Amino acid sequence: MDDGKESLWRNVEVGDKLKDYKVKCWKSDDDKHRYKLKIGLINSNPTKEILVIMINPSIADQNKPDPTCKALINLCDFNQYNSITICNLFSLIEPKMEKFNEFVKTNTANDGLSNNKLKECIKEFDKVICAWGAGAKLKDRNTYNNRILEIHESLGDKELIKFGGEDE
């Protein structure tokens, strides 16, 4: 994957502490799609990494976190992960689900590079959190379910990590 843009997130509230993160973001040339967001705790060795796959990106990039990223940082920190890479089933940056549904309906929630970029990223990791949820607000359940099945096949023998809840 080509070089992304890099920056720092300073003073991110993690539990009762403020921590600094080095962040790298890979986007399309028109900034409409985000393929990958890597968040690493500064001065942290050894690195314990994990890939998190969610539905679609909101506003987080190398310059600013969003509420979902902040919650994810806290969850991963609690579970001793200090490097998080976020990818998505759909690469379109759209924080409003109503608008996002229109892009899914017109088959434009991914661009021509999205699928390969996600599959390249999956290959880099042994442990993955599938955090795409139930997609309750997605209107096109068929497209959503087909995308999950496609990506699930790409996960192969990766270890799928579960935080919280009881084992079933």
- Examine the pLDDT at 168 and tell me if it is beyond 80: no
Over residues 129-148, the pLDDT tens digits come to 999 987 888 899 999 999 99
pLDDT score at 164: 65
pLDDT, tens digit, for every residue of 14-58? 999 999 999 999 999 999 999 999 999 998 887 899 999 999 999
Model pTM? 0.93
Least confident stretch, 110-114, 150-154, 163-167: 163-167
DSSP output for 85-121? EEEESS-B--S-HHHHHHHHHTT-SS-TTHHHHHHHH
